[in-house]
Amino acid sequence: MPVLFPTTVDEATTALAAHPESMLLAGGTDAMVGINDGHHRPGATVISVNRIADLRSWRHDPGAGTLTVGAGVTYTELMDPSIAALVPALAEASRTVGSPQIRNAGTLGGNLGTSSPAGDGLPVLSALNAVVHLATAGSTRDVDVNDFMVGVKRTALEPGEIITGVTVPVVDGWQGYAKVGVRNAMVIAVASTCVVVDRARHTVAVALGSVGPTILRCPEAESFLAARLDWDSLVASDADQAEFGRLVSAASQPITDHRSTADYRRHAVGVLARRLARRAGATS
Ligand SMILES: Cc1cc2nc3c(=O)[nH]c(=O)nc-3n(C[C@H](O)[C@H](O)[C@H](O)COP(=O)(O)OP(=O)(O)OC[C@H]3O[C@@H](n4cnc5c(N)ncnc54)[C@H](O)[C@@H]3O)c2cc1C
């Protein structure tokens, strides 16, 4: 198959416009599985985005209070202490992804490109209301990540578009990510939860993975905990943590499949949410 190696976003979008049938390749950890499973048209052009420096970098804008991460930044890079200090939940989620080899190759842009409901980076981006940056030949646009992920492995990406990066706020407060799988390491999430507590805005955000067709937010649980938290200590009572977990379970829409049952998944996200609420109060 022909493989192109653009070195700029412009070159990549121009190549994509010239070869609309082509497949974008970042770390290849999802794409190669797709090729092996026969989901990719043999002979179609592959456009590797690995050599685009803009996609491989990240920048912190202290004035805006944001972190912008290029689509080609890997999980290993996201675990770097300098990124972990700004967006701890993203580093925490990255640590749970696959094996060292997968974390060295797999990228945040690839996680978004696939948009599996089990993608570990995605609940974090959802809870942070990340902005996804997209480019096509001649134009760019920004999309709220919660509008970008539209269904099981379905996104709002238009033909000819590539993901260039995401911008997330640097939140004053607490954030955490937790995941349950069939074993401790090298595991796709059976259920996952991200909680972000924003002390400045007095808001709580909760996003769930692997319990719906895409990442789910839990508005009722979010406003419940926000109304009950002590905003100095970020502590909620045991009873409020339990009710928060119950509301999160109620917001899930799990199915039974080869990895788990709907009942277990519904229970698990409630437990994860309750634990994260407890951790918020214990560590802040
Ligand atoms: C053994 C194994 C274990 C895994 N474990 C986990 C896990 O624990 N958690 C988890 O979340 N995932 C896991 N994965 C899945 C995978 O590693 C992640 O989804 C990863 O983020 C994919 O990134 P990538 O760079 O490899 O993407 P690729 O495979 O290169 O691409 C994935 C998709 O995104 C598209 N794409 C890539 N870059 C762009 C871009 N810039 N713009 C538009 N589209 C783009 C591609 O065309 C493709 O459709 C695992 C995979 C394997 C093989």
User: How does pLDDT run across 83-136, given as a tens digit for each residue?
Assistant: 999 999 999 999 999 999 999 999 999 999 999 999 999 999 999 999 999 999
**42: pLDDT confidence band, cut at 50, 70 and 90?**
low
Which atom, in ligand 1's list, is nearest to the CA of 74? Answer: 25
Residue 27 Cβ inside 6 Å of ligand 1? The answer reads yes
Which atom, in ligand 1's list, is nearest to the CA of 49? Answer: 41
Residue 152 sits in the same domain as residue 77: yes
Residue 208 sits in the same domain as residue 117: no
Residue 46 sits in the same domain as residue 77: yes
* Average pLDDT rounded to a whole number, residues 253-262: 95
Which domain covers residue 192, as residue numbers? 173-283
Look at residue 283 in the predicted model and tell me its pLDDT: 75
Share of the chain above pLDDT 70, in %: 99
Say how many Å lie between the CA of residue 99 and the centre of ligand 1.
13
Residue 235 sits in the same domain as residue 104: no
In this structure, what CATH number is given to the domain that contains residue 70?
A: 3.30.465.10
* Average pLDDT rounded to a whole number, residues 149-156: 97
Residue 253 sits in the same domain as residue 223: yes
Residue 113 sits in the same domain as residue 221: no
Residue 181 sits in the same domain as residue 161: no
Residue 118 sits in the same domain as residue 77: yes
Q: Which uninterrupted H or E stretch holds 154? A: strand 154-155
Say how many Å lie between the CA of residue 115 and the centre of ligand 1.
9
Residue 105 Cβ inside 6 Å of ligand 1? The answer reads yes
Last residue of a domain, one of 111, 142, 169: 169
Residue 145 sits in the same domain as residue 229: no
Say how many Å lie between the CA of residue 252 and the centre of ligand 1.
24
Number of structural domains found in the chain:
2
Last residue of a domain, one of 169, 184, 217: 169
Residue 50 sits in the same domain as residue 182: no
Measured distance CA(209)–CA(211) in Å, rounded: 6
Last residue of a domain, one of 169, 191, 214: 169
Tell me the CA distances in angstroms from 72 to 2, 75, 116, 122, one per residue in order: 21, 10, 18, 15
Measured in degrees and rounded to the nearest 5, phi and psi for residue 149 equal: -90, 110
For 80-98, what is each residue's pLDDT tens digit? 999 999 999 999 999 999 9
pLDDT at 184 over 90: no
Residue 84 sits in the same domain as residue 186: no
Measured distance CA(122)–CA(171) in Å, rounded: 17
Residue 29 Cβ inside 6 Å of ligand 1? The answer reads yes
In this structure, what CATH number is given to the domain that contains residue 250?
A: 3.30.390.50
